[in-house]
Amino acid sequence: MPTALTQNWLVNIVLPTVALATISFSAFAVWRHGWFSLRPVLSIYIWVLAITGALSLIVYYLQIPEAFRYAACRAYLVIYNSTVGLMCFFSVAVLYEFLFRMAETNKAVRRTAVIGFVITISGIIALTYALMTQPTSTPRALTDGARFLYGATALALLASGALIFAIKRSRSFFLETRLSVVLAAVTLYNFIDLSAAFTLRRSEQTRLVMGDVIWICFSILLYWALKNGPAISATATSTVELPAKT
């Protein structure tokens, strides 16, 4: 009993609280340094992560009356799985925003970023739909759709990340090392999380702990990249103070 209680506190309170704290630091850095004007998609993505993390802890602490528990659980399931889908699309948008911003005035590459985003999202939806419509002995549930969407997104992010890094290298685009690490982290996070969940599928508690640890590491990388403010291109011009009129 004490072991089960300790695991419950670790999985449901301690690790989620640490994860919320680290992503909240990143959200604060976004607000403090004005990242919304530099990389709006990445900034909104980080703030949504912080807000959903806070809401999940609030939901955990809610004491739902018995009469409303079934309806509340159904509503939470819909909201949770819808959020999973939203964050999958958001992560793809973050990746292609990196390519769009790196291109600066190169319209051809910027067009490639937009088209690549549309094609990737379409491919994810098509693959998820194909998996959902496969004949099975039992009807598919909403959780199956969220799981298939997450897996399809993990594969799409790997392909998109490889494409973006290839374009970056061939075009010699400038991107700070810390932002390159974030780009790589966004590319690999879903795949690492999915691989860990599959490997540890027989141990529920270990799988949950490992998922939280992977997420905390990802959050720390985001904070490390954002804490010193917006990245400044090497070609950025310096401002000159004009003398005051007399």
pLDDT, tens digit (0-9, with 9 covering 90-100), for 45-88: 889 888 887 877 776 666 555 455 556 556 666 676 677 778 88
Q: Give the pair of three-digit tokens for residue 53.
A: 């993390």
38-53: b (≥16 Cβ within 10 Å) or e: ebebbbbbbbbbbebb
34 — phi, psi (to 5°)? 70, 40
Q: What is the pLDDT of residue 4?
A: 42
- Angstrom CA distances, 219 to 53, 121, 182, stand at 12, 24, 10
The band of 239, judged by pLDDT with boundaries at 50, 70 and 90, is very low
Residue 210: its pLDDT value, please?
84
The position carrying tokens 């959780």 is 143
Of 163, 162, 83, 70, whose CA–CA distance to 115 is shortest? 163
Closest CA to 98 of 31, 157, 155: 157
Neighbouring CB atoms inside 10 A of 24's CB total: 19
**DSSP letter for each residue of 91-124:** HHHHHHHHHHHHHTT-HHHHHHHHHHHHHHHHHH
Token pair of 102, please?
């790196």
Model pLDDT for residues 132-151, shown as the tens digit of each residue:
888 776 777 767 778 888 88
Residue 124 contacts residue 157 (beta carbons within 8 Å)? no
pTM of the entire predicted model: 0.76
Rg of the chain over Cα atoms, rounded to whole angstroms, equals 21
pLDDT tens per residue across span 164-175: 999 998 888 888
